[in-house]
Structure 1
Amino acid sequence: MRVLTWNLWWRFGGSWRERQPRIAAVLAELRPDVAGLVETWSGPDGTQPAALAAPLGLHHAWAPTALPPAPDPPEEPGQAGYAVGLGLLSRWPIAATEVVELPHDQRPGPPPTALLATLDHPAGPLRVIVACIEWEPRYAADQLAQAHALAALATAGRLAGDLPVLLIGDLNADPSQPGLAPLTAVLTDAWAAGSGDPAAVTLASTHPDAPLEAVAQIDRRIDHVLVRPGRVPVTVERAFLAGAEPIDGLHPSDHRAVVVDLRVPGG
């Protein structure tokens, strides 16, 4: 099972139209079985996950979230009428979805969310959680509360089964930072388990549009695939980054994708 998480940078940066086919090209090369997508869009012409799923023959889902907030007013006309959300692509049918609100006592406005999906995997129900949590230092208490909420969700008894629970997304902290600690205390970091490069970063200062003001996230591995083991043993065979290089002079996103290959018996 190939699992991918990627922050697609919504319609930010001004070149989102040109980036879309480059994102599609990376996904076509990687052929993920499960892809959790952060900062995706939905609007009058459909959703970004649906557009990316169609040529790959994948199933898709989308859920709104408040992180990051959509610009108000829009920065350019192509953002008007489009919401920010979480996306999921799946090789297997999506049997059910649930939008789970996350705590946000500090940040005003609508709540951030997690997308919880049940996939109809041949070895049994496969639960996948896609999420993005707080990044601004002034909302550090929100980030910690959201991490605790996701840890509780991922370890909930109702999600227990033969297959693992996958928590994937942009969690805006690396394993050395307090914001990720509630999650790594109860879940396995698939990057480390798959012998991924310990020096890898998913938000690099070398990107031409790097958000250098995000001092707590820049040049860190802040995008993650975390695993709650199920009753059936799962092996992490490989972990690597993708989408890091420009395609015809343009980066697909400001983030790099995290890709993890899992061996799941019966899959």
Structure 2
Amino acid sequence: MGLRIMTWNLWWRFGPQWRARQAAIAHTLRAVDPDVVALQEVWGTDATTQAHELARPPGLHAAFTPTSLPPAPVPPEHPDQDGVRVGLGLLSRWPITRWRAVPMPARYRDTAPTTLLAELAHPDGPLRVAVTCLEWEPEFDADRHAQAEALAAVATDPALDGPLPVLVAGDLNAAPDSPVLRPLNAVLTDAWTAGGGDPAAVTLSSAHPHAPLEAAELIDQRIDHVLVRPGRPGQRVSVGRAELAGHPVDGLDPSDHLAVVCDLEWSAPG
């Protein structure tokens, strides 16, 4: 039993050529062929969302929820941003039977960010997935720590227990050794490390032409993560692959982040 999960920050409609980047994102998804995709900085309009647009060609299922991280520019930087929401997205090979937006702690934002918590109809039972993006502003660091603690509580809720592992994926805006991740690392396993991923891997590189260099502590770090816990005591979860994706397509960067891809396998509880 197993699946391929991918997490990717899609850079909303920031930067240049967002329409061309959409095609490069779709190309990457076809090449990786993941079963589950956690998406951050996803755009949404009254008519459609980026998640639903990306789901159509391969016949995937999609969900979207608005979030406040990062906030959309006010005023818009260009007309294509006007009235467009920033959100979290989820793509799944299997039907998304239910999902909800879980508010995260926020003392410094007018609107609380969210975690998208979903249940997927995997053939072997319900698969629970949490998609999120944590605070990044250094002056709001207390919120980032509080959000990590809240996320750990969400992920360990016994209501999520079942025959399949529980997955947490997203842009956590923290390097693997950051104190921010301590509450998560205490109850979840970093799939990248478990799968033998390169310890020096970077998902937000200063080499990108539009890298947010002002986010100094996050630059040239792996800040995008896939975390996992057994769904039941005695279940063994292993990671057979941990790689990066999202490299330039015909010279165009699909996003300012690279994606994390992990192949997970698990045994029935003993």
Deviation digits for residues 81-131 of structure 1 (CA, Å, limit 9, x no counterpart): 1100000000111010011000011x1311100000000111111000000
Alignment check: 8 A CA contact 1:175 1:184 kept: no
Partner of residue 91, structure 1: 93
Alignment of 1:72-111 (within 5 A): 72-105=74-107, 107-111=108-112
* Cα distance in structure 1, aligned partners of 2:121 and 2:145: 32
| Local SS of the residue matching 2:6 | strand
SS at match of 1:55: coil
Percentage of identical aligned residues: 61
Paired position in structure 1 for 2:253? 251
Matches within 5 A, 1:159-170: 159-170=160-171
Read off the aligned partner of 1:36 and give its amino acid letter: A
Q: Report 1:26-41 matches (<5 A).
A: 26-41=28-43
- 2:243 matches 1:240: yes
Mapping 1:178-217, distance limit 5 Å: 178-217=179-218
| Coordinate RMSD, CA, aligned | 1.0
Give TM-score, length-normalised by structure 2. 0.96
Alignment-derived partner of residue 155 in structure 1: 156
User: In 2, distance between residues paired with 1:120 and 1:44?
Assistant: 27
2:128 is aligned to 127
- Aligned-residue offset at 1:265: 4.8
Is there any run of 5+ residues in structure 2 with no aligned partner, and where?
none
Q: Are the aligned partners of 2:160 and 2:231 in contact in 1 as well (CA < 8 Å)? A: no
Offset of residue 169 of structure 1:
0.3
Moved segments of 4+, more than 6 Å: none
Contact 2:68 2:112 in 1 (8 A): yes
Equivalent of 1:60, from 62, 67, 79?
62
- Residues 52-102 of structure 1 show CA distances to partners (whole Å, capped at 9, x for unaligned) of 000111100001100000001100000001100000000111010011000
- The answer to whether the Cα contact below 8 Å between 2:229 and 2:237 also exists between their aligned partners in 1 is no
Amino acid at match of 1:166: L
Supply the distance in 2 between the matched residues of 1:139 and 1:190 (Cα, whole angstroms).
Answer: 27
Deviation (angstroms), 1:160: 1.0
Q: Which residue of 2 aligns with 1:262?
A: 264
Native 8 Å contact 1:130 1:168 kept in 2: yes
In structure 2, how many angstroms separate the alpha carbons of the residues matched to 1:162 and 1:265?
Answer: 9
Post-superposition offset of 1:180: 1.3
Normalised by the length of structure 1, the TM-score is 0.97
Give, in whole Å, the separation in 2 of the partners of 1:46 and 1:264: 35
Higher deviation after alignment, 23-32 or 173-182? 173-182
